[in-house]
Each structure stands twice: as structure tokens, then as C-alpha cells.
Amino acid sequence: MDAFFASVEIRDAPQLKHRPVAVGGDPQSRGVIAAANYVARKYGIHSAMPSWKAKKLCPDLIIIPPNIEKYKRESEAIFAIFRHFTDLIEPLSLDEAFLDVSSVPSATHIAQEIRHLIATERHLTASAGVAPNKFLAKIASDWNKPDGLFVITPDAIDDFIKDLPIEKIFGVGKVTANKLHHLNIATCRDLQKLDINDLEHHFGNRGDQLYQLARGIDNRPVQPHRIRKSISVEDTYPTDLGTLEECLHQVAPLYDRLMKRYHNLTPDYRAAKLNVKIKFYDFTATTVESHLYTIPELSSFQELIKIGWQRRQKPVRLLGLGIALATDKEQQLSFF
């Protein structure tokens, strides 16, 4: 979907159509931008940007508080449209999914029809990428945004992939990108010059993945029922929490939200490990996790918060609690 949260709000308030609009938190506190429409993006505004900074870039920016329940309902309606065409749907978020339509004669026709139905039934725009695999389809979906369609046919893969910047490769973040740049690698064409042994020497077990993706090869199937690896909640506070006691006081409401999500999981899931995140006033952060705490009790999270606090002993701007999940289908291998 194109600027999903913001587009839903603009659809429901048409007078905002040509205005810079974002969905996010209060710029007077520590709110952040969750989504911005394309008018706002021309000012350099993007998701995860502090709201105060967004307002500084664009004083006329209209910031609307998020309404997650409304976006969930809209997402359900859009996924219902997907199910008209296939049951092989892998959600990535509320507004994005992979669809396996390899059983139909024309994937491009399906993409056009889906976009048409979203526009006529939901009055929103979506962009689609059509390609032989997930990696290329994801790249293609961003190629002609907003309200666009881009197709990569099998015989076009080689020409398309060669000039693709390495930053577009799945899983290549800043650290890996910097390492590749130091090797004078900027595009997939450059990356193709390294053989599998070179890549494994520099990047370990990720070398094989880089070798494959640099050639447009991705054999991952669309997984309609992905296994969830973790759940978490966090809060950024309007004013810093100055003491350990203030931090511990904030753990209970976070814990209640986390346990609500935990209990909504299917019975197959169980807690494997607990973790907490603390971000201090100066934006330094620490994470504490331990296999010793596997039962999600309030006291366990409080103990982890104490450990994290002792590492810096500075005012805190954000606290987060998380649970790493396992399923009954995942069995631990014996040592032998």
C-alpha cells in the first residue's frame, strides 16, 4: 500500500488530499512519524523521524494521531481482496504481502486486477511488483511508487539485476553495505565478480546468500503461516525517567500490554527467553536478555530492567519488554 496509514486518514478526510499529512505522535513530546504522504515526503519527512523534526522541516505538516484499530480493519478488507485470487499469502505487515500466483496464466493481470479492486472498493492506491521470486518482487513493488506496477520477467532478470545497488539486496544493512563498499562493490554487477569462496571468506555463512541474490536467485517459498519469532512492546516517555524506581514503576503497564499479546497467540507458542530494551536520554541503548528467565512474570522483567539500568545509571527515555518465542514443533537437539 502507498503511505498506508496516512492514505487511510486522507481518504476519510478528503480536504487533506493535497496537504502534507503524517500519522504520528505529538511533536511537543517525543512522538515519532509512523507514515507520511507523498506531499510530506517532498520535504524529507519519513517514518521513524521525530515529529518535532518533521514539523521543523514542514511547519504546515498536519500530524494525525494513529488509529491502529482502523488500520487493522482496512488491512483485513485488503487481504480479503487478495484471497479472491490465491490462498498462498505471506503477510509482511498490515499493508504488504507476498502472493504466490504461479498457478495462473498471467501474474501481471492479477496484479492489475488487485490494484483496481483496492482503488474501487477501498478508495486507496497500491503498488505491485511482479517477478519470479520474492526478492525481485519486493524490489519491483517499490520501483514505480506510488500507484505503480513494475514487472520483471524471467528473461529480464540478468539485465535488471546487474545495475542494482547492493543496498537493495535483502538483508544488506549499513554494516554489510559499508564492508562491500570497502571491497569496491557498489552494484550486483560488481558483486558477481566475487566467487562463492571470496564471499564466504568475507561474510561467513551469509556469503552463499549474497552470491545467490546478486544473480537474482531466491528460492524462498511464499509461507502463508510464518512462525512468529518474538513479540514486544515499548514506550517512549514524555519526560525522562530519572531513577531506577521510576523505571520499575513503568514496567507493570508495559507488562500488561505484552501479556495481552502473549495470551492472544495460539497455544503452540511458548516463551523461550525474555528481554528488555532501555534507551537512555542521550540515545545510547542497552538490551538485556537471559535464558535464565523463561517464564514471563512481572518480577523477571523487573530484574532484567535492574541489570540494564546498572550499565549506565542515566535518565531513561524508552523502555521495552520482549519475549522470544518457540513452538512445540521446535525441538532442541541433543548435544550428541
Catalytic residue numbers read: 96
Residue 260 C-alpha cell reads as: 495481552
Measure the CA–CA gap between 299 and 171, rounded to whole angstroms: 36
Contacts of 150 (CB under 8 A, 6+ apart): 128, 129, 130, 140, 141, 143, 144
Residue 143: name the closest of 155, 159, 128, 161 by CA. Answer: 128
CB 204 within 8 A of CB 216: no
CB 301 within 8 A of CB 259: no
Residue 320, helix vs strand vs coil: strand
Dihedral angle computed from the Cα positions of residues 204, 208, 213 and 215, in that order, rounded to the nearest 10 degrees: 130
CB 133 within 8 A of CB 217: yes
Residue 116: name the closest of 144, 149, 93 by CA. Answer: 149
Count of CB atoms situated within 10 Å of the CB of 97: 17
CB 34 within 8 A of CB 23: yes
Residue tagged 541503548 (cell numbers): 285
Residues forming a β-bridge with 33: 24
Instruction: Starting at the earlier edge strand, list the strands of the sheet with 62-64.
Output: 33-36, 21-24, 62-64
DSSP state of 238: E
CB 115 within 8 A of CB 149: yes
Measure CA of the first residue to CA of the last residue in the chain; give whole Å.
Answer: 48
Residue tagged 519486493 (cell numbers): 138
